[in-house]
Amino acid sequence: MNNKLPIFEQAVLEKLLDGDFPLLIQLRQQLARCTVAKREFTGFGFYTTLSVPADVRRTVGLDVKFGDVVGKIPELPSGAGFLLYVKNGVLDMLEGYSYDEPWPSSIDNFSLEYVKGEQRDLTALEGSLRQKS
């Protein structure tokens, strides 16, 4: 298996981790060094388990999940959603899902935006980052 993130998943993760919150900055540092440990397709989405080297900074004890990014993909007329799981302060897994449409075998054309459009709801995001998953 290729351990490198595909362009699509990299773009989703970069969009999810965009912003000035200290946790997002730390997670972007992890993203720069993470690889794919495992990928599972469900038929209606995927789970990509991430691997981050042990020497990369983490916030021990922090477990959160958040997902305020949606994708517009020609093969998915209803769009796609994403969740990022952080376990014990480390990027753990990216989940992508469709809305009852078969997940395409490859994604070449896509656009990403926040649930509320191009402007991110920073108050909602901050609340998500403070909650335990």
Helix (H) or strand (E) holding 9: helix 7-16
Q: What is the pLDDT of residues 96-124, one digit of tens each?
A: 999 989 999 999 999 999 998 877 877 77
- 3-class secondary structure for 39-87? EEECCCEEEEEEECCCCCCCCCCCCEEECCEEEEECCEEEEEEEEEEEE
Percent of the chain at pLDDT > 70 equals 96
Confidence at 131, pLDDT banded by 50, 70, 90: low
Kindly report the pTM of this predicted structure. 0.92
